Amino acid sequence: MPVEATVAEKLQMLWKLQQVDSQLDEIQILKGELPMEVSDLEDEVAGLDTRIKKLKAAYKESEQEIGRLQVTAKEADANIKKYQKQLEEVKNDREYNALQKEIDLAKLDIQLSEKKVREAKGGLEAKKESLNISEARFEAKQKELEAKKVELQGIIEKTEQEENQLRAQSDKARHGIEDRLLNAYDKTRRTYRNGLAVVTVERSSCGGCFNSVPPQVKLEIGLHKKIIACEHCGRILVDTSIAYPETLVEA
């Protein structure tokens, strides 16, 4: 049956894990907002691509509608010429009036088609302008995305080996730490932007929030009888004998 680690050993393991994870955090800081910027730009480029496709489809549909209207106008014009020729051969007023009515209706069809063509061409110009703006923006964002990707890839290539080694060390450091402590550690790390969950007591103050640590609490921390968290920020507190044991040896 494995022997349970002492409190001091648990604190040492947590401190070691914190040091490795802090180095990983530094690499993420080096990358900065680049991963998020790349992701946002990818979404924006994809959105612009979809918009451009829709605008092109709408533009083509408008062109086809203009073509249909122009055909209708031509057909109406041909009918007018046909009816006008038939007028020359009518034998009574009833036939004349009927043909004249068809001519008037055909003229209305031409007027309506021409009006719709003008409106469609106006809409076509607006769609063309929107398309040009979207294509220009797409090109600019695509170039920006490529530049950000190159920049990010450069950082990744420089830090990849170190990051992989640190991740392996972090995984290894987690072995032997009980789940309860790991869960508390991870939760605290997520709570603070600097990712510090285990800190030292510096000049009688918490190394995380810098609030004062009472003398009695500081004494208990040094005894390593139990794991103690800062009453203000919840970070696990360790003394120098845990954090820097080599200085004690040298002393």
User: Domains in the chain, ordered, with CATH?
Assistant: 7-30+178-250 (1.10.287.1490), 32-158 (1.10.287.1490)
How many other C-beta atoms can be found within 10 angstroms of the C-beta atom of residue 141? 17
Gap between the Cα atoms of 230 and 237, Å rounded: 6
Q: Are 191 and 169 in contact (CB under 8 A)?
A: no
Could you read off the pLDDT of 57-108 as tens digits, one per residue? 999 998 898 899 898 889 888 888 888 888 888 888 888 888 889 888 988 9
For 178-193, the DSSP string reads -HHHHHHHHHHHHHST
**CA-based torsion, 134, 137, 142, 143: positive or negative:** positive
Residues of the chain with pLDDT under 50: 1, 249-251
Return the pLDDT at 33: 84
Q: Which residue has tokens 């209207």? A: 69
Distances (CA, A) of 203 to 73, 225, 240: 92, 21, 11
Kindly report the CA angle at 212 between 211 and 213, in degrees rounded to 5? 120
Q: Are 80 and 106 in contact (CB under 8 A)?
A: yes
Return the pLDDT at 79: 87
